[in-house]
Amino acid sequence: QVQLVQSGAEVKKPGSSVKVSCKASGGTFSSFGLGWVRQAPGQGLEWMGGIIPFLGTPNYAQKFQGRVTMTADKPTNTAYMDLSSLRSEDTAVYYCARKRAGHFDYWGQGTLVTVSS
């Protein structure tokens, strides 16, 4: 059974950066894509981008271009999402999810990132 375990909650100051990790187990990490989706309080799901660990090439939503970096470390089966220049609107729960044939079949538990001065 595939399991995605994310790092813990973070509180950040405006203008700083946050790095969220997502460790995969129970599956072949490199074979599928890994996406990142966020959900602001009381709001819907928003796709941020993704990466195929085998290829190492990320694909970012235009909204986050220049502010987000997604990487994957194959030896440790861990993916990372780094978001910089944080502002209050970035306060959200950030999810990683395995992407297979266009859909997200396994999800991490979510990481709450709070941006506050």
> What is the contact surface with another protein in residues (CB under 8 A)?
35, 37, 44-47, 49-50, 59-62, 95, 97, 99, 101-105, 107-110
62 burial level (CB within 10 Å; 0-12, 13-18, 19+): exposed
The H or E element containing residue 68 is: strand 68-73
Cα–Cα distance for residue pair 45/107, rounded to 1 Å = 13
Q: Which is nearer to another protein, 14 or 102 (CB)?
A: 102
Cβ 92 to another protein, closest distance in Å?
13
Q: Which is nearer to another protein, 15 or 63 (CB)?
A: 63
Cα–Cα distance for residue pair 76/58, rounded to 1 Å = 18
Q: Which is nearer to another protein, 80 or 95 (CB)?
A: 95
20-30 burial: b if 16+ Cβ within 10 Å, else e: bbbbbeebebe
Q: Which is nearer to another protein, 20 or 97 (CB)?
A: 97
DSSP lists the bridge partners of residue 33 as 99
Cβ 102 to another protein, closest distance in Å?
5
